[in-house]
Amino acid sequence: MQRITITIEDDLLAEIDAAAEARGYQNRSEIIRDLARAGLQQSTEDTAQTGPCVAGLVYVYDHAARDLSKRLVQEFHGHHDLALATLHVHLDDNNCMEMTALRGDAGEVRHFADHIIAERGVRYGRVVMIPTGEAKPAKTRKHAHRHE
């Protein structure tokens, strides 16, 4: 086993400590190992998806973090083919949340979402990917269906 040193925000450490106490963990190392295993398992399941998909990317970030807003805008411009629309919400004096609808190949969508979530200053991020299947020819309908 290896010993490492990590830096965790006070609020996150308080959540980890509360979860450890509620679940009966003897120390922080045990719960952090279990949380890491669960995260790696989820990541493996998420990366197994292939083919066309739509996705929702949600992340919270510190808008005052050095050049973060600029870096995020550059990333989105560099991947304009994946991003359909983004909703920006001001949560408080320091935090913003963005929700972006994405569409494209699952591998490309995952890579882009992972890159955004990994940016320094992004405090939380999650992507939900939904497979759309292969492109199929449009079906001919017997009766017209209108959306009003």
Q: pLDDT tens across 103-120, in order? A: 999 999 999 999 999 988
How many domains would you assign to the chain?
2
**Do both 60 and 103 map to the same domain?**
yes
Indicate the pLDDT class of residue 138, thresholds 50, 70 and 90: very low
What is the percent of the chain with per-residue pLDDT over 90, rounded to a whole number? 52
**Do both 57 and 33 map to the same domain?**
no
- Has residue 139 been placed in a domain? no
- Has residue 126 been placed in a domain? yes
**Do both 64 and 99 map to the same domain?**
yes
- Has residue 123 been placed in a domain? yes
Whole-structure pTM value: 0.63
- Has residue 148 been placed in a domain? no
- Has residue 75 been placed in a domain? yes
Q: How far apart are CA 38 and CA 46, in angstroms?
A: 12
- For position 78, what pLDDT does the model report? 83
Please provide residue 81's backbone torsions phi and psi, each rounded to the nearest 5 degrees. Answer: -75, -20
